[in-house]
Amino acid sequence: MAIGNRNVSLENPPNTQCPLSHAKWDPKSEQVISAGRKITKIDRTTLLKRLHRSMLPNVEELIEDDITAFALDLDNDGEEEIVFVASNLARVDEQWERERLADQYERDEKAHPYVTLAGILPKGSDFPVSFYFDHGDYAGGTDAIGSVTLKGVVSISPGTGEIALLIRAGTGFDRTQSLIRYWHGLLQRIDTIAFTCG
């Protein structure tokens, strides 16, 4: 985890009224503080089987390539939890587009189920503690369908070892940045401000 003074300087700021345009970054002031945790790879095949057993809507549509995941002890209890983002949306969009181009005059409007699920899977459980879930039938690209970006793992209290996930989630119209803190089966969501100018 890196902490310190972060000042970013833009030679030709796009918006002179924006405070971010005047920020300066001093890499020498950065410090790295170890949280004492190790991120490990997980077996996506096993994770997929566990997610399918959860019986959540459209989760059976997921395949291994739809999953990004890793294991990490989030609550400092000595047991690793699986952090994952699973979405078949890119694959469904490609399939929908191929069918649309092939059948431009004879569209049968067949359903294309999509799912986006992001969460934490505790050891020994098949039911995830989710921090984002969206599903439905895909009918073409839209900003109303949500997505999740796992931006990183951050220290929320240096010196205590407490960590959280930094995520960006929601629809194209309503994406929020949040810290996700996991503690013995419970989630705490802390919305943060992702300040941009313009």
Predicted pLDDT of residue 18: 66
pLDDT at residue 145 tops 70: yes
pLDDT above 70 as % of the chain:
76
Task: Report the relative pairing of strands 147-157 and 81-87 from DSSP bridges.
Answer: unpaired
Q: Please give the helix or strand (H or E) that residue 72 lies within, else none.
A: strand 67-72
pLDDT digits (tens, 9 = 90+) for 147-187: 899 998 988 877 777 899 999 988 777 788 899 999 988 99
Q: Which two tokens stand for residue 143?
A: 């900003």
Q: How many H helices and E strands in the chain?
A: 2, 10
Q: How far apart (Å, rounded) are the C-alpha atoms in residues 28 and 145?
A: 41
Task: Evaluate the CA torsion angle 28, 30, 36, 42 in order and state its sign.
Answer: negative
Q: Please give the helix or strand (H or E) that residue 156 lies within, else none.
A: strand 147-157
CA separation, residue 130 to residues 9, 50, 62, 162 (Å): 38, 14, 16, 20
Contact present, 153 and 182 (Cβ < 8 Å) = no
Average pLDDT over residues 7-15: 49
Indicate the residue type of 136. Answer: G
Q: How far apart (Å, rounded) are the C-alpha atoms in residues 19 and 145?
A: 32
pLDDT digits (tens, 9 = 90+) for 109-129: 677 899 999 999 998 898 999
Tell me the backbone φ, ψ of residue 180, rounded to 5 degrees. -115, 115
Domain ranges of the chain: 1-32, 33-192
User: Across the beta sheet with 175-183, what order do the strands follow?
Assistant: 147-157, 162-170, 175-183, 186-192
CA separation, residue 121 to residues 14, 22, 40, 101 (Å): 43, 42, 14, 39
Return all residues near 155 (Cβ < 8 A) that are at least 6 apart: 1, 3, 33, 35, 161, 162, 163
Q: Which of 44, 12, 8, 56 is closest to 29 using CA atoms? A: 8
